[in-house]
A and B are shown apart, each in its own frame.
Chain A
């Protein structure tokens, strides 16, 4: 009995702090995940670059894909990043209604982005650009384009689900000025999705 009590007591001792101890272990965990994820995107973009460099008939992406729609999609993700930081600021200030409003706008931005990507993909598939076929030159162009933008789209989909879960918890009143870390963590994920799109837009569409 006394041994069990000693073990229980030992488990309650908080871990020792070092100068490297983060403010939140959850935030550290998300950053570690994002670092790993960034390397996946880095490998995809490096692979895209390598194949493009080695190919003699790579089409000009800006002419083939059209950039006005994707420029608007970039603008949309930047706007949704702003609404995300505004949602975090609102919950940190204890403004629940404002937090809910900005979270809804962020989710809406993600959904519109996904709808536009689906529209863009459908349009390109109808014009003949598929995973294995490309009417404008190198067939690898289609493969690398769909894999890179599809992997990002998958992240946006996951982000919309994640944001919706946080919104539902927020509606139940789980967050407030003293408990805003989960909102900050979902924000980190969402800003990462925005950051990656900034790079995808430049490397896949503009260069």
Chain B
């Protein structure tokens, strides 16, 4: 009989990390910090959790580089999308200020 047992990553360690980060995320929103600081912490922890799932549960760490390149592509495109949306967002804010100004003056 051949031994079919393989070496597997320590999935339970990843589970505990994910659980700890989720608890920290929920706790962070109640901290007396600036909104930007909380947002940076939350995004950082969410990306760390996503990376842990991708690298260990989806085995990207042990796969050929082709699959990692495919996995990283949507992230790059989404960052590009956000950058492309930024000018539109600032334009919307200016428009809102201009259109609401007369109404406020009326009151």
Do A and B come together as binding partners?
yes
Cβ proximity bits A165-207 to B, threshold 8 Å, 1 near / 0 not: 0000000000001000000100110011011001101110011
Task: Judge whether A192 and B89 touch: CB under 8 Å.
Answer: no
Which residue on B lies nearest to A203, using beta carbons?
A: B46
* Interface residue SS majority, chain B: helix
Task: Judge whether B19 and A75 touch: CB under 8 Å.
Answer: yes
Least Cβ–Cβ distance between A98 and chain B, in angstroms = 12
Cβ proximity bits A50-64 to B, threshold 8 Å, 1 near / 0 not: 100110100000100
A35-B74, A86-B11 given; A202·B6 CB < 8 A: no
Which stretch in A37-45, A124-132, A144-152, A153-161 binds the other chain? A37-45
A188 to B66, CA, bound (A): 15
Residues of chain A lying within 8 A (CB to CB) of residue B77 = 39, 42
- Cβ-defined partner of B66 (8 Å) among A20, A75, A85: A20
Task: Judge whether A46 and B81 touch: CB under 8 Å.
Answer: yes
How many chain B residues touch A (CB < 8 A): the figure is: 45
A137 to B73, CA, bound (A): 36
Cβ proximity bits B71-90 to A, threshold 8 Å, 1 near / 0 not: 10111011001100100110
Residues of chain B lying within 8 A (CB to CB) of residue A28 = 66-67, 70
Task: Judge whether B57 and A85 touch: CB under 8 Å.
Answer: yes
A50-B85, A54-B92 given; A39·B8 CB < 8 A: no
Cβ proximity bits A14-54 to B, threshold 8 Å, 1 near / 0 not: 00000010110001100110111011001101100110011
Least Cβ–Cβ distance between A115 and chain B, in angstroms = 20
Task: Judge whether B53 and A27 touch: CB under 8 Å.
Answer: no
- Interface core residue of B19, B29, B93 (most chain A CB under 10 Å): B29
3 closest Cβ pairs, A-B complex: A42-B78, A38-B74, A202-B46
Chain A residues within 8 Å of B, Cβ to Cβ: 20, 22-23, 27-28, 31-32, 34-36, 38-39, 42-43, 45-46, 49-50, 53-54, 56, 62, 67, 71, 74-75, 78-79, 81-82, 84-86, 89, 92-94, 177, 184, 187-188, 191-192, 194-195, 198-199, 201-203, 206-207
Ordered by A's residue number, 7 sampled pairs between the chains whose C-beta atoms are within 8 Å are A32-B70, A38-B74, A42-B75, A71-B22, A75-B22, A195-B50, A206-B29
